[in-house]
Amino acid sequence: MQFRHRGKKSEIENGNNVVSIISLKEGEKGIVSHAVGGFGLLRRLAEMGLTPGVEVKVLRKGLFSGPVEIEVRGVALALGHGVASKVFVKPLKDASNG
């Protein structure tokens, strides 16, 4: 009975609790699972260090649907809202020992 599921749309869609980076709160961490988008975007993201399996931390989120600043591989990276919404992560529950 799929209709009865209540919860975040992205969670239902992905089943195994993978969410887009924009659904993380400031200070929360996650492990990159995958990204969706064109060939160019995926490559660009990978080259900036956002490869599957890497840990990211959301440092800051902009006003309204603003950009998201994340930390990845020791570097602060600003991602536009559209870009950030295409990167999916597995949230780490306990931010302190992630």
Binding mask 25-64 for another protein (x = CB under 8 A): ---------x----xxxxxxxxxxx-xxxx-----xxxxx
Residue ranges with strand state E in 1-98: 19-20, 29-35, 55-61, 68-72, 75-79, 87-92
Task: Rule CB under 8 A: say whether 66 interacts with another protein.
Answer: yes
From 69, 90, 91, 95, residue interacting with another protein (rule: CB under 8 A): 69
Closest separation in Å from C-beta 27 to another protein: 12
Binders of another protein among 71-90, rule CB under 8 A? 73-83
- CA–CA separation, 61 vs 45, rounded Å? 18
Measured CA distances, 70 to 46, 48, 49, 91 (Å):
14, 12, 11, 14
Tell me the two tokens of residue 83: 């870009």
Interface residues with another protein (CB under 8 A)?
34, 39-49, 51-54, 60-67, 69, 73-83
